[in-house]
């Protein structure tokens, strides 16, 4: 029983780390407002540090395929295996605007 609980806790920790969980809310997020830093913190583990993809699709030309509003909708609602709400509010808007410029 203890092994199963430990495995569950470790698995959950890995998922949260891979999806950018664990933000320090006391500081309001040290990267608040900087879209590139927010992307690197929350998105690059799946979409790649160079926007070329990995577990998630490449985003280097996402602005040619989707509008800022569509990108923000994907961030808010998730899509495919991407969970919803990794970024919220102004952070989601800033990253969507930054990504929309990638053409």
Residues in contact with 103: Cβ distance below 8 Å, sequence separation at least 6, in sequence order: 61, 63, 64
Q: How far apart are CA 31 and CA 58, in angstroms?
A: 22
**DSSP per residue, 53-103:** -SSS---TTHHHHS-HHHHHHHHHH-BTTBPTTSS-HHHHHHHHHHHHT--
Q: In DSSP terms, which residues pair with 82 in a beta bridge?
A: 79
In tens digits, the chain (103 residues) has pLDDT values of 555 544 545 545 444 445 554 444 433 455 667 999 999 999 999 999 999 999 999 999 999 999 999 999 999 999 999 999 999 999 999 999 999 999 9
Q: Which CATH superfamily is domain 32-103 in?
A: Cytochrome c-like domain (1.10.760.10)
What does the domain layout of the chain look like in residue ranges? 32-103
Confidence at residue 33, expressed as pLDDT on a 0 to 100 scale: 75
């Amino acid at each position: 029983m203890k092994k199963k609980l430990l495995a569950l806790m470790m698995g959950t920790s890995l998922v949260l780390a891979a999806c950018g969980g664990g933000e320090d809310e006391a500081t309001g997020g040290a990267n608040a407002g900087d879209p590139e830093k927010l992307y690197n913190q929350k998105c690059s583990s799946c979409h790649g540090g160079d926007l070329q993809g990995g577990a998630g699709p490449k985003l280097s030309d996402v602005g040619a395929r989707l509008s800022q509003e569509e990108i923000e909708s994907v961030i808010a609602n998730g899509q495919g295996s991407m969970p919803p709400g990794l970024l919220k509010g102004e952070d989601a808007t800033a990253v969507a605007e930054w990504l929309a410029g990638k053409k």
